[in-house]
Structure 1
Amino acid sequence: MSNPLPLRLDDPSLLHGASLLHGKWVQAQEQQKFAIEDPGSRQIFAHCPNNRLQDVDQYVESAHIAFLEYREANPRERAKRLLNWHSLITNARSDIAKLIVYETGKPMTEALGEVDYALGFAWWFSGEAERVRGSVAQPSVSNRRTLVIKQPIGVSVALVPWNFPVAMTIRKAAAALAAGCSMIVKPSPETPLSTLALADLALRAGFKPGVLNIITTDNENTPIVSERLCKHPLVRKVTFTGSTAVGSIIAKHCSDGLKKVTLELGGNGPFLIFDDGDLDQALAALMILKWRTAGQACTHANRVYVQSGVYDKFLPMLVNATKKIQVGHGTAKDTTMGALTTSRGLTKMERHIADAVSKGGQIAYGGKRLTSLSGNFFQPTIISGMTPSMLTSQEEIFGPLLGLYRFETEEEAVQMANDTSMGLAAYFFTKDTSRSWRLLESLEAGMIGMNTGKATIIHPIYTGLSQNILGNASAAESPFGGIKSSGYGKEAGKDVAIEEYLISKTGTLTVDPISKL
């Protein structure tokens, strides 16, 4: 493969090697920086401020000052600014996608798809800003009235992951800004540049200094910076997307001061295909739900359970479709799967594969690093003959590895699907309506794909498959969140997401009877 194209933006002013503090682009107090590496070439192409513990408080204090003013902005004003932001992001779509490619390793088509997906949240929450409602009720005491008003909770913190840096930043920030909160975003050390570009556009959209601050730091300082953000007395809300292990730590930090928390954590999604399921539809959905982002998404289908009657038919269908995936740098036009974002992912893939093979799994396709390429590349890998004792059955994979399991009965499939501490997303394909209802109720997941659920078309998936892709139904209008060890709280959807950034106040009023007037 040829060398990756150099990063060139149509608007070079969107590329920032500085954090955003109260409307100004600033460096860390100690003037230290950390490097940003392109996963597709392992070349350093940018640097950002390496903020430390002593840098944190000024970001929170700025956000608090801004909140005291911003909370007074009426909903129409907040909605207009969100719509302005939406428009500016739309105009900068290509540049933001380029930053995503160089930070995450995704193909350009997937990066553009992420921007389009993310834009839905800016649009949605601009509408939700004007739909916050309280209530008035008559209680059991006849001459009283109970009033409930909704107000913004205060300074909010978003801890954003590297796999969808633009989508997660906008999904969190748009909800907070619509509610009237200020927000501090700490992006992942791997992907700060795209978040900084979004913040630049937020300033241009009319959000005043301090309403949206961005603090960057490296992997070494991330734990202490995040802890201080969570524990700062002026912070009232924290939203985190990431692993279950780190989410548990965040929850403990936020217990100091009883901060409101939303946790969107790991997943190990089961994907059930029954004998009567539409295999072509299931395959189209699975090609998105496993191989997109090189398998690095918490909602991805990792454990594919196929009923015995169609197992031997579906396996070669899956292998043949997967063989058409073109692995390469995200700037190459023919690339349909990019690099893993971190080299740690390569080691984890090898560990999972070795464990599965040692316990009887058979590699149906792939299984190795792509050493002919200079980046963090791994073959899309399919292992058949999987069992519950394997590491892949018990842990989130976060890589291009798919395990295929055989089952006989619906009860067996549900038992295996639920045999995990996580419960984020699950998927199934069957034409039996009664079974669909049973599965909706019995599968332990916060989001369930039932036969279909159109996803944004990321790219014209591999030759021979329909572009009418079916898969994860995540969208701005749908509540997003899991159960069990996959977290709590919801992002997106009507009412529930914006409620995460609101407090309720109850007032009681006595109404004098006419005879006393």
Structure 2
Amino acid sequence: MMYAINRCRVTNVIMSNVRSMHLLKEKAFVNGKWSAAENQQTFDVYNPANGKVVGSVPDMDVSDANLAIKAASEAFETWKLTTAKERSKLLRKWFDLLEANAEGIAEIMTAESGKPLTEAKGEVVYGNAFIEWFSEEARRINGEIIPSPVATRKILVEKFPIGVVGLITPWNFPHAMITRKAGAALAAGCTCVIKPAEDTPLTALAICQLAHEAGFPEGVLNVITCDRKNAPDIGKLLCTSPNVAGISFTGSTYVGKLLNQQCAPHIKRVGLELGGNAPFIIFDSANIDKAVQGALASKFRNCGQTCVSANRFLVQENVYDEFVNKFTEEIKKMSIGDGVNPGVNVGPLINEMQFNKVYTMVEDAKKLGATIKTGGQPIENLGKLFYTPTVITNVSASMQVYNEEVFGPVATIIKFQSEEEVLKVANNTERGLAGYFYSQDISQIFRVSKLLEVGMVGINEGLISTVEAPFGGIKESGIGREGSHYGIDEYTYIKYMCVGNLG
């Protein structure tokens, strides 16, 4: 790690509010107990805004993960027999506790992820809503009676939980990505082994503490923590263990492909929410002021580190100059800094690896002739992971920023002439998670929304995530859907029962 170790504990770093203190856990959670790694190793969690140590958690390995899988497997034998109403009540208790402790969770999240406190609070509201939603959906996992072609038979269809599921979650939404998966899995009757990202394990442990307080039985919900070096082996174990029925992963396309390959020989249920390369199209008929506000929300939330962030801004020639000028002026007004400070709306990048990626891509664009309208450099006086919100024009297909997902506070803007042209550019990618466009032409709205090759479309809207809607992509952006009533399908199988000789 690039920072010198500063042993300030979280109590000194961020938390003046005593409500937060009982949520700060520095042990993993296995079989209903707070547990150290068998090898007694730990690793530090750093605040990306200032480099200080927020806390230390167990650096577990496959032996610890096997214990968590065993606990979840044993717990499944009784958890699968609970009624939908029983699971619903426990999930609702968890939701109520999450709501009561929202401030404390947000503080922990800001400390370890760097996102502004206002954004952290927004994620907590969003993440909590999944537990509320699935507490209600638990009682709506309905079967079916199908008319039989034979008078003496009855055809029954029922849904059952698949078993133990491994949930591997990312650092950019350390709360919501757990609740979106675990809420659905628990509602269906599955048990969980959660492996949070090494950059943000403390949020996962905080919400697990509240699940424990809600009364979930031992082994139903387990959280194992590990540093980057042990993550591949634990991920492989979750994919290959005969006691794990399914995997749900949110993260990079590269890792998602690897996990899918590891699951394939075992024919496991796989849910993947992978990288995007979202186009953001502004047509001539668009309301430019609303398009600018939508672009700001889509691009710079969480410092551009979201899988559904707009990555390529494609602007029709008649409104190109107006959009670029208004967009650039709004970006210049952004407040950048430590997320705990009032008014900050752009924090640091998560770690050195992500910072170097953003820096390299912008430098490559400069070298190949791009124009930097604003930004384009680090902000060293704030800290080692801060980068200015950046607008790049005169972008060509030879540049990295044209072809790759930036995952940072960098907006590339490309001019186009016709609808046909822009659809070719927008769809010319292996990714297909989200896409956005602004238009006031109703015929164009229905035409373009149909032709964009993505799983989710924002039409005159830059923020589209909500618990009620199915979240997921096509092409190399993933398999399956999360959230909505479709989200539980990933954790159930359908059993057909034929009752004969009814006479």
Please classify the TM superposition score into its range, dividing by the shorter chain length.
over 0.9
Residue 494 of structure 2 corresponds to: 504
Instruction: Choose which of 129, 148, 165 in structure 1 pairs with 2:174.
Output: 165
Which segments of 5 or more consecutive residues in structure 1 lack a partner in the other structure? 453-470
2:468 maps to 1:477:
yes
CA–CA separation in structure 1 for the residues paired with 2:30 and 2:63: 14
Residue 440 of structure 1 corresponds to: 449
CA–CA separation in structure 1 for the residues paired with 2:110 and 2:205: 15
Residue 224 of structure 2 corresponds to: 215
* Runs of 4+ more than 4 Å apart: none
Residue 510 of structure 1 and its aligned partner are, at CA, apart by: 2.2
RMSD over aligned Cα, in angstroms? 1.3
CA–CA separation in structure 2 for the residues paired with 1:160 and 1:240: 6
Check whether the contact 1:418–1:443 (CA below 8 A) recurs between aligned residues: yes
- The superposition leaves residues 406-450 of structure 1 with CA deviations (integer Å, 9 ceiling, x where unpaired) of 000000010000111100000000111111111111101000001
State the AA in 2 paired with 1:361. A
2:42 maps to 1:33:
yes
CA–CA separation in structure 2 for the residues paired with 1:400 and 1:71: 44
Instruction: Choose which of 10, 14, 19 in structure 1 pairs with 2:18.
Output: 10
CA–CA separation in structure 2 for the residues paired with 1:157 and 1:316: 47
Identity among equivalent positions (%) equals: 39
CA–CA separation in structure 2 for the residues paired with 1:357 and 1:419: 23
Check whether the contact 1:230–1:250 (CA below 8 A) recurs between aligned residues: yes
Residue 463 of structure 1 corresponds to: none
- Secondary structure (helix, strand or coil) at the match of 1:305 reads strand
2:374 maps to 1:360:
no
- The superposition leaves residues 469-501 of structure 1 with CA deviations (integer Å, 9 ceiling, x where unpaired) of xx221111000000001011000112x110110
Residue 94 of structure 1 corresponds to: 103
CA–CA separation in structure 2 for the residues paired with 1:58 and 1:263: 25
238-247 or 253-262, which deviates more? 253-262
Q: Where in structure 2 are the equivalents of 1:6-405 lying within 5 Å?
A: 6-8=13-15, 9-11=17-19, 12-405=21-414
CA–CA separation in structure 2 for the residues paired with 1:10 and 1:450: 43
State the AA in 2 paired with 1:66. A
- Secondary structure (helix, strand or coil) at the match of 2:339 reads coil
Check whether the contact 2:13–2:54 (CA below 8 A) recurs between aligned residues: no
Check whether the contact 1:65–1:210 (CA below 8 A) recurs between aligned residues: yes
Residue 376 of structure 1 and its aligned partner are, at CA, apart by: 1.0
Mark the CA change 1:142 to 1:387 in structure 2 (over 3 Å): closer, same or farther: farther
Check whether the contact 1:49–1:216 (CA below 8 A) recurs between aligned residues: yes
CA–CA separation in structure 2 for the residues paired with 1:336 and 1:212: 34
Which segments of 5 or more consecutive residues in structure 2 lack a partner in the other structure? 1-7
State the AA in 2 paired with 1:474. S
Check whether the contact 1:138–1:144 (CA below 8 A) recurs between aligned residues: no
Residue 6 of structure 1 and its aligned partner are, at CA, apart by: 2.3
CA–CA separation in structure 2 for the residues paired with 1:182 and 1:490: 19
109-118 or 374-383, which deviates more? 374-383
State the AA in 1 paired with 2:322. K
CA–CA separation in structure 2 for the residues paired with 1:268 and 1:404: 14
Residue 276 of structure 1 and its aligned partner are, at CA, apart by: 0.4
Residue 32 of structure 1 and its aligned partner are, at CA, apart by: 0.4
252-261 or 134-143, which deviates more? 134-143
Check whether the contact 1:388–1:416 (CA below 8 A) recurs between aligned residues: no
Residue 488 of structure 1 corresponds to: 479
CA–CA separation in structure 2 for the residues paired with 1:450 and 1:406: 19
- The superposition leaves residues 125-153 of structure 1 with CA deviations (integer Å, 9 ceiling, x where unpaired) of 01100000111112434443321111111
State the AA in 1 paired with 2:78. E
TM-score for the superposition, normalised by structure 2: 0.96
CA–CA separation in structure 2 for the residues paired with 1:493 and 1:376: 36
Residue 511 of structure 1 and its aligned partner are, at CA, apart by: 4.6
CA–CA separation in structure 1 for the residues paired with 2:210 and 2:67: 22
CA–CA separation in structure 1 for the residues paired with 2:165 and 2:176: 17
- The superposition leaves residues 196-249 of structure 1 with CA deviations (integer Å, 9 ceiling, x where unpaired) of 011110011111111100000001111011111221110001100000000000
Check whether the contact 1:35–1:46 (CA below 8 A) recurs between aligned residues: yes
CA–CA separation in structure 1 for the residues paired with 2:54 and 2:184: 32
TM-score for the superposition, normalised by structure 1: 0.93
Count of residue pairs the alignment pairs up = 492
- Secondary structure (helix, strand or coil) at the match of 2:18 reads coil
Mark the CA change 1:44 to 1:512 in structure 2 (over 3 Å): closer, same or farther: closer
CA–CA separation in structure 2 for the residues paired with 1:229 and 1:193: 21
- The superposition leaves residues 20-43 of structure 1 with CA deviations (integer Å, 9 ceiling, x where unpaired) of 011111100110000100000011
State the AA in 2 paired with 1:488. I
State the AA in 2 paired with 1:384. T
State the AA in 2 paired with 1:210. G
Residue 112 of structure 1 and its aligned partner are, at CA, apart by: 0.3
Mark the CA change 1:375 to 1:38 in structure 2 (over 3 Å): closer, same or farther: farther
CA–CA separation in structure 2 for the residues paired with 1:490 and 1:13: 34
State the AA in 1 paired with 2:18. D
Residue 375 of structure 1 and its aligned partner are, at CA, apart by: 4.1
Check whether the contact 2:54–2:112 (CA below 8 A) recurs between aligned residues: no
CA–CA separation in structure 2 for the residues paired with 1:353 and 1:86: 42
- The superposition leaves residues 344-369 of structure 1 with CA deviations (integer Å, 9 ceiling, x where unpaired) of 12211121112222333110000001
CA–CA separation in structure 2 for the residues paired with 1:429 and 1:146: 48
CA–CA separation in structure 2 for the residues paired with 1:473 and 1:10: 35
- Secondary structure (helix, strand or coil) at the match of 2:13 reads coil
